[in-house]
Amino acid sequence: MASHQKVCVEHLFKVFGPDPDETIRRVQAGQAKDRIYADTHSVAAVADVSFTVDQGEIFVVMGLSGSGKSTLIRCLNRLIDPTRGRILLDGQDVVAMDAGALRELRAHKLSMVFQHFALFPHKTVGENVEFGLKVRGVPPGERRDKARRALEQVGLEAYADVPPDNLSGGMQQRVGLARGLAVDPDIMLMDEPFSALDPLIRRDMQDELLALQAQLHMTILFITHDLHEALRIGDRIAIMKDGRFVQTGTPEEIVADPADDYVAAFTRDVDRGRVFRMGRLSHEAPTVTPDDDPATARRRCDEHGVAGLHVVDTDGYPLGILVRAELASAEDDALRDLMQPDYPVARADQELIELYGACAQGLPIAVLDDTGRLQGTVDPLRVFALLAGEPGEGETSRRAEASAPLAAREE
């Protein structure tokens, strides 16, 4: 089924300074940021950015300080008005909205979680979570119920009646997240929500977000300066520099095929075992059935250049594995007697780091689907090669597509 596009941003600019039109013209001509500022005293904080976000997707914008990422997310709900471009949320142009339509959008469709918790110290935790609902005009009883449900989702239902100052930093950020969830937004905007937290608490909050996403399937735009955080939570990632998107892709695409030296420098020390999944290396598995003979098994091994192959039943469920070296002298033996019933298995969505032990067995790894059928196979040597920095099988360059403007990709 085709996914529904929740967000579409087209050629967005935000220029700070006295000469926005000339600045945009120079950006489009490819001039450097420093040269543009020297001549115009203007800065394009967001420079011709285009992207889409599908319903239920976590889209992460990652960049260093000054890259334009926070300006970008504030343009989406018009906390900052863009200079040029279109922002479509469910097909509605946010840039063209009047003040009333914009208030309605912010109250019912969007929710934002900031880096700093911004909790009201004179209100209880529950009252803080209710605040967006109160602004929306939700009756007191209903908003209390919704606030408590949101607190339950983040594990803080027991703290509804205490002041936020009694909570740790991580717990206060959970309150901020609950406040965003309470209004049941179509789209959640998260501007570096975990960056002020200690590393262990930050990881806990990432886990919390991923667990909530598995339940709620929210559409999230997430801003971070931490590539490891982006790789951990993002379905897709955009790397931003000097107001532009340098590369957009899945975590695997960003790490395996960086668009330029800037992206490569970020990904150089990434633990590839935590980024890549078995599905990237899986290919169609050569198989035999118990009714085949050893000669057929040897021939199939040689045709595919594999050291072993799986024996499957008529429904495609694996029964065991045959090792090529052990087939050399077999003539009339039944394959069921020759096969090893114990063999390494994996799912396509498993991280490589989970399968080091399986790779150490030296046997082809059976990749199974959700029903246990054989979906593909992986040579353990390919796993080690990918961890060492070599591209996976079938890897093709995505640089041109990932860096191209949206309009060019649609043509």
Distance CA 377, CA 119 (A): 52
The pLDDT assigned to 300 comes to 92
Residue 284: closest CA among 189, 407, 376, 151 = 376
**Thinking of the domain 278-388, which architecture would CATH place it in?**
Roll (3.10)
Residue 404 has pLDDT above 50, yes or no: no
Residue 400 has pLDDT above 70, yes or no: no
Residue 411 has pLDDT above 60, yes or no: no
Buried b (16+ CB within 10 A) or exposed e, 287-319: bbeeebebeebbebbeeeebebbbbbeeebebb
The pLDDT assigned to 260 comes to 94
- Domain boundaries along the sequence of the chain: 5-274, 278-388
CATH domain 5-274 topology: Rossmann fold (3.40.50)
The pLDDT assigned to 2 comes to 53
The CA dihedral of 229, 235, 239, 244, to the nearest 10 degrees, is -140
Residue type, 408: A
Distance CA 265, CA 258 (A): 9
Which residue did the predictor score with more confidence, 17 or 410? 17
Residue 219 has pLDDT above 60, yes or no: yes
| Averaged pLDDT for residues 54-79 | 96
Q: What share of the chain is helix, strand, coil (3-state, %, to 5)?
A: 40, 25, 35
Distance CA 19, CA 1 (A): 46
- Could you report the per-residue pLDDT of 296-346, keeping only the tens digit for each? 999 999 999 888 999 999 999 999 999 988 888 888 788 988 999 999 999
Residue 248: closest CA among 397, 404, 391 = 404
Distance CA 61, CA 245 (A): 9
Residue 165: closest CA among 114, 132, 113, 117 = 117
- Could you report the per-residue pLDDT of 366-387, keeping only the tens digit for each? 999 999 999 999 999 889 888 8
Distance CA 280, CA 394 (A): 9
Residue 71 has pLDDT above 60, yes or no: yes
**C-alpha distances out from residue 86 to 95, 145, 185, 188, 305, Å:** 6, 37, 21, 19, 53
Residue linked to tokens 């029903």: 371
Contacts (Cβ under 8 Å, ≥6 apart) of 298: 324, 327, 328
Tokens at 201, concatenated: 């608490």
Determine how many CB atoms are found less than 10 A away from the CB of residue 91. Answer: 8
Residue 406 has pLDDT above 50, yes or no: no
The pLDDT assigned to 328 comes to 83
CA 359 to chain centre: 26
In percent, the amount of the chain with pLDDT more than 70 equals 94
Determine how many CB atoms are found less than 10 A away from the CB of residue 12. Answer: 22
Residue 162 has pLDDT above 80, yes or no: yes
**How deeply is 82 buried, as exposed, middle or buried, from its count of CB atoms within 10 A (0-12, 13-18, 19+)?**
buried
Lowest mean pLDDT among 14-23, 188-197, 216-225: 188-197
Residue type, 104: E
Lowest mean pLDDT among 46-50, 81-85, 202-206: 202-206
Query: Taking a C-beta distance cutoff of 8 angstroms, is the pair 238, 247 a contact?
Result: yes
CA 215 to chain centre: 16
| Averaged pLDDT for residues 17-26 | 96
Residue 141 has pLDDT above 70, yes or no: yes
| Averaged pLDDT for residues 254-262 | 94
The pLDDT assigned to 390 comes to 67
The pLDDT assigned to 20 comes to 96
| Averaged pLDDT for residues 100-109 | 90
